[in-house]
Amino acid sequence: METTNNTTVVTTDISTTENTELVTTVGTDDAMGNIQFRTDQIGESLGAMGKGMLGIFIVIAAIVFVSALLNKVTSTKKDGDNE
């Protein structure tokens, strides 16, 4: 271990190990195989449910408003051009 300009650099000897098995599974065996009932996330998930639905409706309301405005403005412009 050496210290240079207030930065500590750690060097470690890496010894080779035999690669005996290629792990291609995603996640841990526990995560994949065992199902455990848990209640520690109720608050977070309920909050996400509320925020999610509210968020969707707010964004959609904004899009509806803008779409209606676009329809009105462009059709007014078209009527103006026709006149």
Partner 1 sequence: MNFLIDFLAELFGSFTALTWQQVVMWIIGGVLIFLAIKREMEPTLLLPMGFGAILVNIPFSGAVEQLVDGVLEHGPLTTLFNAGISNELFPLILFIGIGAMIDFGPLLSNPKLMFFGAAAQFGIFITVFFASFFFDIKDAASIGIIGAADGPTAIVVSQKLGSNFVPAIMVAAYSYMALVPIIQPPVIKALTTKKERMIRMPYEPKEVTKLTRILFPIVITVIAGLVAPSSVALVGFLMFGNLIRECGVLNSLSDTAQNVLANLITIFLGITIASQMTAEKFLVPSTLLIIGLGLFAFIFDTAGGVLFAKLVNLFTKKKINPMIGAAGISAFPMSARVIHKMGLEEDPGNFLLMHTIGVNVSGQIASVIAGGLILNMFM
Binding site for partner 1 (CB under 8 A): 19, 21-22, 24-28, 31-39, 41-42, 44-46, 48-49, 51-53, 55-64, 66-68, 70-71, 74-75, 77-78
Q: Report how far Cα 62 is from the mean position of its chain's Cα atoms.
A: 22
Closer of 1 and 32 to partner 1 (Cβ): 32
User: Alpha-carbon distance 76 to 68, whole Å?
Assistant: 12
Are 11 and 1 in contact by the 8 Å Cβ rule? The answer is: yes
Closer of 9 and 22 to partner 1 (Cβ): 22
Residue 59's Cβ-side half-sphere holds a number of Cα atoms within 13 Å equal to 6
Least distance CB 46 / partner 1 (angstroms):
6
